[in-house]
A = this chain, B = another copy of it.
Amino acid sequence: MQSLTDYSRLSLNQITTNRWSVPEAIEGCARAKVPAIAFWRHKIAEAGLEVTRRLARDAGLHVSSICRGGMFPAATREERAKRIADNLQAIDEAAQLEADTLVLVCGAAPDRDLRGARRMVEDGIAELVPYARERHVKLGIEPLHPMLAAERSCITSLEEANNLAAKFDPQTVGVVVDVYHVWWDAMLSREIARARGRIEGFHVSDWLTPPPDILLGRGMMGDGCIDIRYIRQLVEAAGFEGFIEVEIFNQAIWDRPGDEVLQLMKERYLDCV
């Protein structure tokens, strides 16, 4: 498996430089010649959608994804409806920014009923599909690591995400493969092959041992134990040619100057991805 030789497919997921605002992240990518970016919605809200759109366009930056929609399960019908409304707004934002994908972090069960929560996720996605299709926005179901099942996502494996995506039109609903969330899975090669035509995003970071934190413990590529290149080979063998997002939740990385983080990220991208 060959290393990547240029940065044409590299995307900065904005959370990796969490201290940067939207304008700062866009300027940082321009300085580092990173050609794409993924925005978080709370950052878009701070900067304003139209400002975000204009700055990204003026910088010639491609938008690989918007993070995030989802969070479908909730205890009451009212709350679930509120979340659908928020997802419709996220679709509008993704359409405005011409993002490749709206990433769906599907949400956790509000109680012990995981199966019920999974039905709420399926129902929620079903409500979004016509709206997303009209606006040519792809929805990417991202299975999260099982250790986040109680707090963030009841969708915990790529098999489950594939099964869920298969219920919908592949023109609108696919999956997102994040190495941090799926690297442990013995069925990974089978499930990535099965996701052919549905892979709407590929995210990289690393698993640190021992993890310094459950939420903020992701590492820079090369600092952990994930065979990232092997997983890239699997997604490419399954037809994925899109941007590769670097998405790192890690307080120590957040505390470093953004420009330094981007330089390190670029080195590790060629060395380890």
Oligomeric state, in copies: 2
Query: CA–CA, A211 to B147, complex, Å?
Result: 9
Q: What mask results when residues 221 to 260 of chain A are scored 1 for a CB within 8 Å of chain B, else 0?
A: 0001111000000000000000000000000000000000
CB distance from A75 to the nearest CB of B (A): 13
CB distance from A223 to the nearest CB of B (A): 12
Q: Please state if A187 and B214 are interface contacts (CB–CB under 8 Å).
A: no
Contacts of A149 in B (CB 8 A): 183-184, 207
Please name 12 pairs of A and B residues whose Cβ atoms are closer than 8 Å in the assembled complex, sorted by A. Answer: A111-B225, A112-B225, A114-B183, A114-B184, A147-B147, A150-B210, A151-B210, A155-B186, A156-B186, A160-B186, A163-B186, A214-B214
Specify the main secondary structure of chain A where it touches its partner.
loop
A-side interface residues, number (CB < 8 Å): 33
Q: Please state if A184 and B156 are interface contacts (CB–CB under 8 Å).
A: yes
Q: Please state if A185 and B112 are interface contacts (CB–CB under 8 Å).
A: no
Q: Please state if A227 and B113 are interface contacts (CB–CB under 8 Å).
A: yes
Contacts of A187 in B (CB 8 A): 157, 159-160
Given A112-B227, A113-B227: A150 and B186 interface contact (C-beta under 8 Å): no
Looking across the interface, which residue of chain B has its beta carbon closest to that of A155?
B186
Contacts of A118 in B (CB 8 A): 186
- Does A37 sit at the interface, judged by CB under 8 A? no
Interface centre among A112, A187, A207 (most CB of B within 10 A): A112
- Does A209 sit at the interface, judged by CB under 8 A? yes
Contacts of A163 in B (CB 8 A): 186
CB distance from A221 to the nearest CB of B (A): 12
Looking across the interface, which residue of chain B has its beta carbon closest to that of A161?
B186
CB distance from A192 to the nearest CB of B (A): 14
- Does A145 sit at the interface, judged by CB under 8 A? yes
Query: CA–CA, A225 to B111, complex, Å?
Result: 7
Q: Please state if B186 and A159 are interface contacts (CB–CB under 8 Å).
A: yes
Looking across the interface, which residue of chain B has its beta carbon closest to that of A113?
B227
- Does A109 sit at the interface, judged by CB under 8 A? yes
Query: CA–CA, A211 to B157, complex, Å?
Result: 20
A-B pairs with lowest CB-CB distance, top 8: A149-B184, A146-B184, A160-B186, A147-B147, A150-B209, A112-B227, A156-B184, A146-B146
CB distance from A118 to the nearest CB of B (A): 7
